[in-house]
């Protein structure tokens, strides 16, 4: 059975800290891995990764995929209170019509 | 830009009642899907559609029906609500060639008593 596991499930840090969120997966015929950020309402897209070892970066956020070890990490440097959210990892398999399998999410709280 | 619009935002039902959660998108996206989000379980796919007139089941379809008569709309029907359907429901849409990059609505919080 395909599954996605995120860790930790929750995390509390202080502003300025650097955090690393983990996502491991077991999916037959992997196609892509995606990261979403969910603040109070709708998840919003952050990154899509398809190739191993290529870092995707957007400001203080970056992500990398390891297809051999079946995991991805999301790094956030110099955290701010606005980074407080649930971070969701999702995986897409080939020939699954775009269906995404989501992990449980990591709830990040950044304290001032 | 409206994007993906879900109505209502909140709903309370009694066990056995029926209702329809509405979802509309104005981005001309071919692909639409419904998820439910429960604490500690992430998002789980209920039903999805790759285009008007075509729907298919996701991971947790029991108790829910969908139809897709137009590209824009993808309503989710609960025929006989049960307390186990208490959840937050999200509708999402995406383009055909980037189905995995999905745009989500703001969600409907449903309580079934």
pLDDT in tens, B13-27: 999 999 999 999 999
Sign of the torsion angle spanned by Cα atoms B94, B110, A11, A60: positive
**Inter-chain CB proximity B100 and A32 less than 8 Å:** yes
Using DSSP, state whether B9 is helix, strand or coil: coil
CA distance A14 to chain B (A): 24
Q: For B51-101, what is each residue's pLDDT tens digit?
A: 999 999 998 999 999 999 999 999 999 999 999 999 999 999 999 888 789
Does residue B36 have a pLDDT over 80?
Answer: yes
> Given CB atoms, is B105 within the 8 Å cutoff of chain A?
yes
Is there a contact between B42 and A43 if contact means CB atoms under 8 Å apart?
Answer: no
A15-51 confidence digits (pLDDT tens): 999 999 999 999 888 899 999 999 988 999 999 999 7
CB contacts of B49 in chain A (<8 Å) are: none
pLDDT confidence of residue A28: 86
Contacts of B4 in chain A (CB under 8 A): 42
Candidates B101, B103, B108, partner chain A, best to mutate (most A CBs within 10 A): B101
Which pLDDT belongs to residue A51?
79
Q: What pLDDT shows up at residue B1?
A: 65
Distance separating alpha carbons of residues B18 and B2, to the nearest angstrom: 27
Q: How far is B18 from chain A (nearest CA, A)?
A: 25
**Distance from C-alpha of B89 to C-alpha of A51, rounded to nearest angstrom:** 31
3-state helix, strand, coil in chain A (%, to 5): 5, 60, 40
Token match 């190739």: residue? A51
């Amino acid at each position: 059975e395909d599954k996605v596991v995120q860790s930790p499930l929750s995390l509390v840090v202080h502003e300025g800290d650097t955090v690393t969120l983990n996502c491991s997966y077991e999916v037959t015929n992997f196609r892509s891995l995606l990261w979403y950020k969910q603040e109070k309402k709708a998840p919003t897209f952050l990154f899509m990764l398809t190739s191993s070892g290529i870092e995707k970066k957007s400001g203080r956020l970056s992500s990398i995929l390891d297809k051999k070890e079946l995991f991805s990490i999301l790094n956030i440097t110099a955290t701010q209170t606005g980074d407080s959210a649930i971070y969701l990892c999702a995986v897409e398999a080939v020939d699954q019509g775009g269906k995404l399998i989501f992990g449980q999410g990591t709830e990040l709280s950044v304290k001032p | 830009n409206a994007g993906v619009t879900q109505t209502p935002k909140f709903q309370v039902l009694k066990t056995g009642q029926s209702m329809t959660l509405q979802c509309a998108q104005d981005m001309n996206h071919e692909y639409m899907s419904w998820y439910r989000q429960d604490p500690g379980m992430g998002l789980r796919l209920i039903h999805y559609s790759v285009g008007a007139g075509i729907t298919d089941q996701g991971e947790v379809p029991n108790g829910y029906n969908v139809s897709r008569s137009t590209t824009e709309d993808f309503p989710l029907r609960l025929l006989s609500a049960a307390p186990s359907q208490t959840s937050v429901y999200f509708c999402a849409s995406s383009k055909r060639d980037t189905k995995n990059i999905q745009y989500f609505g703001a969600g409907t919080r449903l309580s079934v008593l």
